[in-house]
Amino acid sequence: MKISLAFILVVCTCVCMTHALGGGSSEGFDYIWGARVAASTLIAREVVYRSKTLLQTTTKSYTLTQDPTAPKTIQYIAITNLKRMRGATAEITSGGVGATTVTIKFTSSRGGAIKSQVEIWGA
């Protein structure tokens, strides 16, 4: 009896640790486009947020706006999902690496919110 109880506790602990460390099947999505080199400078770092809507997918667009007199060329884009469960997907709809502008469309799962950090580096 004690051995089976100990076995069950060990299995439950392993399952809980796996999910706590991000090993669950419903973890968020992180994206990287391009490469960050030593000469890159941070152009923008922002958190994109939109609250959830009941039983519907949520979308939000993010557009990078730079100073038009001295725009930098984008070399690296990193999107980190800040929600551990039911994270949003990201898609570049225009611009991107090699351009001076970028528009990113975020789409959440049904009934989920959007909370992602966008980092854009360039030279």
Mean pLDDT of 17-21: 43
Predicted local distance difference test score (pLDDT) of residue 36: 92
Does 79 fall in a domain?
yes
Contacts of residue 2, defined as CB under 8 A and 6 or more positions apart, other chains included, come to none
Is residue 89 included in any domain, yes or no? yes
Judge if pTM exceeds 0.75. Answer: no
The answer to whether residue 3 is domain-embedded is no
Per-residue pLDDT reduced to its tens digit, 62-114: 999 898 888 999 999 999 999 877 789 999 999 999 999 999 999 998 888 99
**51 within some domain:** yes
What range defines the domain where residue 108 resides? 27-122
Q: Which residue is associated with the tokens 């001295």? A: 70
Which residue, 109, 123, 112, 115, is CA-closest to 76? 123
In a domain, 62, yes or no: yes
Domain presence at residue 15? no
Q: Is 16 left (phi over 0), alpha (psi -120 to 50) or beta?
A: alpha
Count of structural domains, the chain: 1
Residue 31 falls within a domain, yes or no?
Answer: yes
Share of the chain above pLDDT 70, in %: 77
Task: Give the torsion sign (CA, 93, 74, 46, 114).
Answer: positive
C-alpha–C-alpha distance, residues 43 and 52, integer Å: 29
The reply to whether 2 falls in a domain is: no
